[in-house]
């Protein structure tokens, strides 16, 4: 049986009041599971996540960070600040950040390096648009994103990154990649990273994300190259998230 990495991305959802029950329930669910469970919260709730989840089986983190240690960057948060709250996980290069906030591959690379310097686990996201897939450019796009994301990162550190293949056409749309599509791309993506970092494919952890739900997760998560999931919509309710966390994959 493989251990799955099942990380929720709350995005800009839930309130402090809702999080009280959410964290308590998630701790219970994770406590009974052999899978690795984590949740990435909005920045302002990081202290509360630390208070409620530190020492439990639920890893916690945030959804972005700045690549520099400090300076005149209104509205930004540095790795040093996150370290004050014992943050475990940082999502980097989510497509919503790339699309709405102009996050480039170069920034993704700098942020991943900084997160690794601080001992956080970066969850580095990549994936193609619907048009790129239709034009049969998806492999080329992904190769380029990944090679730039890990540029200059030593092989030991690359093994500490968790990668997440999130086809943009599948995020929040209810249209998931089929298990075959996800497996094919993740296998390919692992081969690209293995080649560039000079490590073995089975030393790379890679998740699938994009409309992962209780009704499709079992099939997708059982695919041989897939190590887990990054879950948006379906993580907002712990009863729904539980149905994914409870999956036992071969
Ligand atoms: P979704 O989001 O599960 O709602 O599609 C996934 C993500 O954006 O990480």
Is 138 designated active site?
A: no
Best residue among 8, 162, 216, 232 to mutate for probing ligand 1's pocket (most ligand atoms within 8 Å of CB) is 232
pTM over 0.75: yes
- In three-state form (DSSP H/G/I as H, E/B as E, the rest C), the secondary structure along the chain is CECCEEEEECCCCCCHHHHHHHHHHHHHHHHCCCCEEEEEECHHHHHHHHHHHCCCCEEEEECCCCCCCCCCCCCCCCHHHHHCCCCCEEEECCHHHHHHCCCCHHHHHHHHHHHHHCCCEEEEEECCCHHHHHCCCHHHHHHHHHHHHCCCCCHHHHHHCEEEECCHHHCCCCCCCCHHHHHHHHHHHHHHHHHHHCCCHHHCEEEEECCCCHHHHHHHHCCCCCCEEEECHHHCCHHHHHHHHCCCEC
pLDDT (tens place) for every residue of the chain, 250 residues total? 899 999 999 999 999 999 999 999 999 999 999 999 999 999 999 999 999 999 999 999 999 999 999 999 999 999 999 999 999 999 999 999 999 999 999 999 999 999 999 999 999 999 999 999 999 999 999 999 999 999 999 999 999 999 999 999 999 999 999 999 999 999 999 999 999 999 999 999 999 999 999 999 999 999 999 999 999 999 999 999 999 999 999 8
Please give the number of the atom of ligand 1 that sits closest to the Cα of 209: 6
Best residue among 100, 208, 211, 236 to mutate for probing ligand 1's pocket (most ligand atoms within 8 Å of CB) is 211
């Amino acid at each position: 049986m493989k251990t799955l990495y099942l990380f929720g991305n709350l995005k800009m959802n839930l309130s402090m009041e809702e999080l009280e029950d959410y964290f308590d329930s998630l701790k219970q669910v994770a406590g009974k599971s052999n899978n690795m469970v984590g949740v990435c919260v909005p920045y302002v709730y990081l202290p509360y996540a630390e208070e409620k989840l530190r020492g439990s089986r639920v890893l916690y983190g945030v959804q972005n960070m700045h690549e520099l240690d400090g300076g005149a960057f209104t509205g930004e948060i540095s790795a040093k600040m996150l370290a004050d709250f014992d943050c475990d996980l940082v999502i980097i290069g989510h497509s919503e950040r790339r699309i709405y906030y102009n996050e480039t591959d170069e920034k993704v690379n700098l942020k991943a390096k900084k997160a690794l310097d601080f001992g956080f686990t970066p969850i580095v996201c990549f994936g193609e648009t619907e048009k790129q897939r239709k034009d049969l450019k998806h492999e080329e796009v992904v190769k380029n994103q990944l090679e730039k994301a890990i540029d200059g990162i030593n092989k030991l550190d690359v093994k500490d990154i968790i990668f997440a293949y999130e086809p943009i056409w599948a995020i929040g749309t209810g249209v998931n990649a089929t298990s075959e599509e996800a497996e094919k791309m993740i296998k390919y993506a692992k081969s690209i990273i293995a080649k560039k970092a000079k490590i073995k494919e089975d030393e790379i952890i890679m998740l699938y994300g994009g409309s992962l739900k209780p009704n499709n997760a079992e099939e997708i998560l059982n695919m041989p190259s897939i190590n887990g999931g990054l879950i948006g919509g379906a993580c907002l309710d712990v009863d729904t998230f539980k149905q994914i966390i409870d999956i036992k994959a071969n």
